[in-house]
Structure 1
């Protein structure tokens, strides 16, 4: 019996002409909670590697969160 989970991947690409960041998920990564966990873990790992403290991350999210929400053309993710 194999208790080891399958490897999964997320590919990020940019399209500067369209002002978007695009995400492609591996076929075995369907669960939105798991996608969110992987993306947030990568974000926090990046912030820590850059030396940002917790307050800086809180301020960054507080200042920029609205740019990433909604179905309007200003949304960076599609």
Structure 2
């Protein structure tokens, strides 16, 4: 019999003073690959719900990824 996995959660909050987004993960969400999967699935789900096309998402990532890396260095 397959056991249902335990629920896990991610909490996002903004910090406008420091121009950052804070992420808090539930204690049972420790695997970085699982964290990345959940965050990317949420991102793509949000984009789809907003009606963005694949090319719009690619353009958005291409435009802002380098800027994001510079701000987090």
What TM-score do the two structures reach when normalised by structure 1? Answer: 0.86
> Unpaired runs of 5+ in structure 1?
none
* Greater percentage in helix: 2
* Offset from partner CA, 1:21-50 (integer Å, 9 cap, x none): 000000000000000000000000000000
Task: Name the SS of the counterpart of 2:13 in structure 1.
Answer: strand
What is the aligned partner in structure 2 of residue 35 from structure 1?
Answer: 35
Q: Give the corresponding residue for 1:56.
A: 56
After TM superposition, which residue ranges in structure 1, 4 or more long, deviate above 4 angstroms? Answer: none
Cross-structure match for 2:6: 6
Find the residue that maps to 2:47 and give its secondary structure: helix
* Aligned counterpart, 1:23: 23
Count of equivalent residues: 72
Aligned partner of 1:68 in structure 2 is: 68
Q: CA deviation at 1:66?
A: 1.3
